[in-house]
Structure 1
Amino acid sequence: MEVLSQIISQLNSFLAPVLVVGLLGAGLFLTLRLRFIQIRKLGHGFAVTSGKYDDPNEPGDVPHFQALTTALSATVGVGNIAGVAIAIHVGGPGALFWMWVTAFLGMATKYSEVTLAQHFRVPVTSDGKVWAGSVAGGPMYYIERGLGWKPVAVFFAFMLMLTSFMTGNAVQANTIATQFRDTLGIETWITGLITATLVGLVIIGGIRRIGAVTGVLAPLMAGIYVTAALVILVINWDQLLPAFATIFREAFNPTAGVAGTGMGALLTTLTYGVQRGLFSNEAGQGSAPIAHSAAKTDEPVSEGVVALLEPFIDTIVICTMTGLVIVITGVWNDRVPSALPLRDVNISYVVGDDVQGYRRVATPEAIRYVDGRPLEGQPQLAYFSVGVPRLFVDRAQTQPFTGTLYPLRAQAQGDNGQLYTTLYGDAVRSSAPLTTLGFERGLADIGLSGLAQYIVLLSVFLFAISTSISWSYYGDRCAYYLFGTRGIVPYKVVYLIMHFLGAVVAVTTIWGIGDVALALVTLPNVISLVMLSGLLKKLTDSYFERQPWRENYEVHRRLVEEQRRKKLETQARKP
């Protein structure tokens, strides 16, 4: 596992700068080529999403709104809770600014990939099997049919299918399991088994059942989380302007975070902001176009304008809420008293200090501690990859640990012979626990700090479940592209197995693998978008010149009136 972690770290260090340049460069190019469509047509996107232009007789599987909620259920996930926290923990508050930049440019990117996916989507031959859907679309289709790059399309589909197992599935299961263990003491394998069962019950029904479920889950989960965050921001309204000032200052002149994380490097701040921004809103990754391809429409651009709402809702609204709570409450730069179970997947061993930063090392056989501190020259225990300065044997931290720590056995033995499986100390938070700490502090002023962990717990559960459900559809469209309908059921079986395994694997490893896969699918996709930008501009100009939504509005109005008339007639016939 340690060798794998080192390989992943090296791959990420190579791919991360390439990803940053490719993603931001493509987003800027498309923004200029389409004349800032994310600003000009934002209102039209909301209008189409409202359903007033829907025609149920057009080809596809789900209405515009359900296509959006399916995609949003995939994007509004633990990236909004855990991803923002990780970005700020490592890159500092300035990482949030680069998430905003990624989201703004990502709106044009998302519009582009969804419009092209709709334009090149294909009918599905499913022999009447409802779960298989009636259409399939995504980057693999526009890469193959638009550019003629079949090998690249196959590579993309295969890598995105693997990505669906990791970032869209295992990461979600891992975050739920970790949060339930920390909050309720439930073993990770139990949580993993339960969530895998819930996901399985939904995804077996295909896109129509997925659309129906996410159409309820997405608004519910966003409403609960945003409301709680807004309460904290209202309570601390006087800290909003200083928080924004900190974010903008740290974006271009970052300082080292707690225990030297980020080391005050602009590239670290920018990279983590872009990576977590991409993980959160998925613009340019090529996943969301698969869900949007199922929308009932014969006008590709009509779904493109719906899709550009995603980065706005996901990152500029929801991620900002998380980031502001973390910055305003100051938890991003704190160590806090913590219980440290030695079997915790977030426990690791490092060398270094708060000034120079920390570097992970191979797990040692034994570490000698005296008065709570390791002997000079030895590694030390770390939580979320940051060293814990001093270890204690009691929760009140009055008795420093003196003895030997045996990491491979997940035990510590005091000089008095006493065995310990949990030690205590001041440790940093990252991922969802950092967000939880922010909510606890933020709600403490109104006496609701105890409620905070359950708000975040419920949000994590809803966000992660809905993301896993939606991502299963992304992967099964890739499986269909590669293997036909015979590949869908085996894919779903493997997907559920990976969901369970994700619950019990170290979070740092899962995120690392996810980042590698993310880069490998994003780069060919954004290159394809740039290559097809001429066609994209023609489709865009044609749609807004013809204004076909006006005709759809009349069709929709007549259908609504007919349904209302039938309902009144039915009620009139009742005794």
Structure 2
Amino acid sequence: MVILLLGTGFYLTVRTGFVQITRLGHGFGVTTGKYDDPDDPGDVSHFQALTTALSATVGIGNIAGVAMAIHWGGPGALFWMWVTAFLGMATKFSEVTLAQKYRTTDEFGNVAGGPMYYIERGLGASWKPMAVFFAVMLAFTAFFTGNAVQANTVADQMNSAFGIPMVVMGAITSVIVAAVILGGIGRIGRVTAFLAPFMAAIYVFGALVILVLNLGSVPGAFATVVTEAFNPQAGVAGIGIGVFMVTMMWGVRRGLFSNEAGQGSAPIAHAAAKTDEPVSEGVVALLEPLIDTLVICTLTGLVIVVTGTHEQRFPTEVTLGGGDITWTAEVEPNRYAGIDAPQSVEIADGLHVNTGVGAAMVSWHEAYVDMLYTDIAQTQPFTGTIYPGSGEAKADDGATYTSLYGNAVENGAPITAEAFRQGLAPLGDW
């Protein structure tokens, strides 16, 4: 699927004559309302359509997605996010132009469009089963990548930062979202026209402040990203890092998740834009990967690399029966692979008794925890046996623990949050 999406993006880039370069300026002009006509059919302005689509991409993909790509694939994964975004601009242009061309208008003047419409109306009635299939699959996708991932990331971060129970945060998020979407595309457009630029501006400003404070490290960060895109180095968060294909695939995957090019969700939002020229909305849509990935994701990645939080370990409660605990084994020097949970793992004075190639290691986010303690202050090293099957650790003195403590690597949104905290530290506690 990744190859298909990238291949399509490359084909459309060539077929449209590199539209993401030749029509970029025109896209900005249309977005600012330079060519608006209030009498054009549609429900929202070009700008509102753009912010509606961006509201689904600017956020979780920028905050957690980039961190995940760097965690699993190393800094070089950011380079492949750039490639994905560049090709994705042509894909966005094409799918949104088609959505505009084949949209429908009901008797009340309300418009509707998207891939399910242009599949049936563009390819013919015989393709209606495919259109229905797409609509059903997109509905399921909306529940998961469209909502569940975002809600979970928000709840996880709020729980980590402020101790708010995840179920409570989920309920609050549901109420707020319902209040917006039940008002229809008009209310969604008005809300996102304010929120999307506002939250993006704050985020970009914070990232730029950090990069200015660490200006001397920025060229090195860029060099690391480009160099490790083709020659990745093994790092602390070990599984896959050091393997070119893993670095590329994680960059491509997170890039596609972030800007949603080819997913089919953005054309639905853009189909509601007021215009009688389909291509005019297409040039607006190609700005999305530029803003979302080439600008905001790049800033996130540079902040993480400059502060080095992707390689740092943080005090962590290692929950033996769940959470983010994993099991890894060294497959070659400094490179680890995930394995099935072993029957038991022996620990002495906080250290793994069995080490070396093939030995099971207690890990967190696929990065092994080098020292394990029984107390949160990390003053009492654990000695005993960990039983993954029961989620327990039995000490030699007879005590039983369901959690141990140690310094572990983080992943996702917590990495980004810590990068911003450390980067802004010279200006105070953020």
TM-score over 0.5 for the alignment? yes
Q: Could you tell me how far 1:396 is from its partner in structure 2?
A: 3.6
Q: State the partner residue of 2:261.
A: 283
User: Separation in 1 of the partners of 2:173 and 2:400?
Assistant: 34
- 1:144 is aligned, of 97, 120, 125, to 120
Q: Counterparts of 1:315-326 in structure 2 under 5 Å?
A: 315-326=293-304
Q: Could you tell me how far 1:318 is from its partner in structure 2?
A: 0.2
- 2:378 is aligned, of 393, 397, 411, to 397
Deviates more, 1:151-160 or 1:97-106: 151-160
Q: State the partner residue of 2:50.
A: 68
CA contact (8 A) 2:94 2:282 kept: yes
CA contact (8 A) 1:89 1:261 kept: no
- 1:358 is aligned, of 332, 337, 344, to 337
Q: Secondary structure, in 3 states, of the residue corresponding to 1:305?
A: helix
Q: State the partner residue of 1:251.
A: 229
Q: Secondary structure, in 3 states, of the residue corresponding to 2:273?
A: coil
Q: Counterparts of 1:355-434 in structure 2 under 5 Å?
A: 355-362=334-341, 367-376=345-354, 379-405=360-386, 407=388, 410-434=391-415
CA contact (8 A) 1:141 1:153 kept: yes
User: Separation in 2 of the partners of 1:385 and 1:204?
Assistant: 41
Q: State the partner residue of 1:198.
A: 176
Structure 1's 78 and 93: CA in aligned 2 closer, same or farther, altered over 3 A?
A: same
CA contact (8 A) 2:100 2:271 kept: yes
Q: State the partner residue of 1:443.
A: 424
Q: Counterparts of 1:457-468 in structure 2 under 5 Å?
A: none
User: Separation in 2 of the partners of 1:145 and 1:394?
Assistant: 64
CA contact (8 A) 1:91 1:257 kept: no
User: Separation in 1 of the partners of 2:304 and 2:242?
Assistant: 18
Structure 1's 217 and 27: CA in aligned 2 closer, same or farther, altered over 3 A?
A: same
Structure 1's 228 and 259: CA in aligned 2 closer, same or farther, altered over 3 A?
A: closer
TM-score, normalised to structure 2, is 0.92
Tell me which amino acid in the other structure corresponds to 1:268.
Answer: V
Correspondence 1:47 to 2:25: no
Instruction: Point out where structure 2 has 5 or more consecutive residues left out of the alignment.
Output: none
Structure 1's 262 and 349: CA in aligned 2 closer, same or farther, altered over 3 A?
A: closer
Tell me which amino acid in the other structure corresponds to 1:42.
Answer: L
Correspondence 1:293 to 2:278: no
CA contact (8 A) 1:93 1:246 kept: yes
User: Separation in 2 of the partners of 1:212 and 1:310?
Assistant: 18
Q: Secondary structure, in 3 states, of the residue corresponding to 1:75?
A: coil
User: Separation in 2 of the partners of 1:410 and 1:199?
Assistant: 37
- 2:191 is aligned, of 209, 213, 217, to 213
User: Separation in 1 of the partners of 2:326 and 2:255?
Assistant: 26
Bigger relative CO (Cα 8 Å, ≥ 6 apart): 1
Correspondence 1:123 to 2:99: no
Tell me which amino acid in the other structure corresponds to 1:225.
Answer: Y
CA contact (8 A) 1:351 1:359 kept: yes
Q: Could you tell me how far 1:36 is from its partner in structure 2?
A: 1.4
Q: Could you tell me how far 1:344 is from its partner in structure 2?
A: 5.6
Q: Could you tell me how far 1:151 is from its partner in structure 2?
A: 2.6
Q: State the partner residue of 2:38.
A: 56
Correspondence 1:188 to 2:170: no
CA contact (8 A) 2:240 2:337 kept: no
> Over residues 250-292 of structure 1, what are the superposed CA-to-partner deviations in whole Å (9 max), with x where a residue is unaligned?
1111112324232411111111111111111111221101100
CA contact (8 A) 1:358 1:386 kept: no
Q: State the partner residue of 1:37.
A: 19
CA contact (8 A) 1:59 1:298 kept: yes
CA contact (8 A) 1:90 1:257 kept: no
- 1:160 is aligned, of 138, 143, 147, to 138
CA contact (8 A) 2:51 2:193 kept: yes
CA contact (8 A) 2:239 2:366 kept: no
Q: State the partner residue of 1:80.
A: 62
Correspondence 1:135 to 2:111: yes
Q: Could you tell me how far 1:312 is from its partner in structure 2?
A: 0.6
Tell me which amino acid in the other structure corresponds to 1:103.
Answer: A
User: Separation in 1 of the partners of 2:259 and 2:182?
Assistant: 25
Tell me which amino acid in the other structure corresponds to 2:214.
Answer: N
Q: CA RMSD in A?
A: 2.2
> Over residues 505-564 of structure 1, what are the superposed CA-to-partner deviations in whole Å (9 max), with x where a residue is unaligned?
xxxxxxxxxxxxxxxxxxxxxxxxxxxxxxxxxxxxxxxxxxxxxxxxxxxxxxxxxxxx
What count of residue pairs does the alignment treat as equivalent? 424
CA contact (8 A) 2:103 2:111 kept: yes
- 1:308 is aligned, of 274, 277, 286, to 286
CA contact (8 A) 2:74 2:241 kept: no
Instruction: Point out where structure 1 has 5 or more consecutive residues left out of the alignment.
Output: 1-17, 452-575
CA contact (8 A) 1:88 1:332 kept: yes
Correspondence 1:175 to 2:153: yes
Q: Could you tell me how far 1:381 is from its partner in structure 2?
A: 3.0
CA contact (8 A) 1:352 1:359 kept: no
Q: Could you tell me how far 1:423 is from its partner in structure 2?
A: 2.2
TM-score, normalised to structure 1, is 0.70
Q: Could you tell me how far 1:443 is from its partner in structure 2?
A: 2.0
Tell me which amino acid in the other structure corresponds to 1:143.
Answer: I
Structure 1's 420 and 184: CA in aligned 2 closer, same or farther, altered over 3 A?
A: farther
Q: Could you tell me how far 1:412 is from its partner in structure 2?
A: 3.9
Tell me which amino acid in the other structure corresponds to 2:47.
Answer: F
Q: Could you tell me how far 1:172 is from its partner in structure 2?
A: 0.5
Q: Secondary structure, in 3 states, of the residue corresponding to 2:47?
A: helix
User: Separation in 1 of the partners of 2:187 and 2:398?
Assistant: 58
Q: Could you tell me how far 1:372 is from its partner in structure 2?
A: 1.9
Q: Could you tell me how far 1:334 is from its partner in structure 2?
A: 2.9
